[in-house]
């Protein structure tokens, strides 16, 4: 199968019902997307499919062949972090950092569709991303910062 990942065409050999997360991590060595629950509940594995945030642990790789896949590794351009990454650093969001890639991808997906979300809209969009360290207030602030 051929996949379009971070602007590059990649050939993968995994079985078609393998999860996209497993293909990214185990076959393509793109380990930024994290395995948390494996059941679509925590958001650690979030990537963008055609600009929409999805849980890659629940997406069979056969369903994404004609889509543009963006992972956390694809956000940096020409040595410049994405504005959402910059904002997460500026606000000092991270504690353990395990949820961070999924949080950032969900935030990027939100801002691509709503450049100036309200606090309620941010909380609603980020609702499915769990942070065991409880950094939620800083995450909201970072997204507000990125939207400026």
CB of 24 to ligand FES, least distance (A): 11
Residue 141 sits in the site that holds ligand FES (CB under 6 A): no
The window from 33-41, 68-76, 81-89, 131-139 that contacts ligand FES (CB under 6 A) reads 33-41
79, two tokens: 């040595």
Residue 109 is a binding residue for ligand FES (CB under 6 A) = no
Alpha carbon distances (Å) from 94 to 30, 32, 38, 146: 20, 15, 22, 15
Q: 118 CB contacts (<8 Å, ≥6 apart)?
A: none
Return d(Cα 31, Cα 94) in angstroms, integer.
Answer: 18
Shortest Å distance, C-beta 116 to ligand FES:
27
Distance CA 83, CA 79 (A): 12
Site stretch for ligand FES (CB under 6 A), options 1-9, 42-50, 91-99, 111-119: 42-50
Region for 4 from its dihedrals, namely left if φ exceeds 0, alpha if ψ lies in -120 to 50, beta otherwise: beta
- In the three-class reduction of DSSP (H, G, I as helix; E, B as strand; rest coil), residue 100 is classed as helix
The interface with ligand FES within residues 55-94 (CB under 6 A) comprises: 55, 57
Q: How far is the CB of 90 from ligand FES (least distance, A)?
A: 27
111 counts as binding ligand FES under rule CB under 6 A: no
Closest-by-Cβ residue to ligand FES is: 57
Binding site for ligand FES (CB under 6 A): 35-38, 40-45, 55, 57
């Amino acid at each position: 199968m051929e996949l379009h990942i971070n602007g590059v065409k990649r050939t993968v050999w995994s079985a078609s019902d393998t999860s996209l997360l497993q293909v990214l991590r185990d076959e393509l060595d793109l380990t930024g997307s994290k395995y948390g629950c494996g059941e679509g509940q925590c958001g650690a594995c979030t990537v963008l499919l055609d600009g929409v945030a999805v849980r890659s642990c629940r997406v069979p790789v056969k369903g994404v062949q004609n889509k543009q896949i963006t992972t956390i590794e694809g956000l940096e351009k020409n040595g410049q972090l994405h504005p959402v990454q910059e904002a997460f650093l500026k606000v000092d969001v991270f504690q353990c950092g395990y949820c961070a890639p999924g949080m950032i991808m969900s935030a990027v997906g939100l801002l691509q569709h709503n450049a100036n979300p309200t606090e309620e809209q941010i909380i609603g969009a980020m609702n499915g991303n769990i942070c065991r360290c409880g950094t939620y207030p800083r995450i909201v602030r970072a997204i507000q910062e990125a939207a400026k």
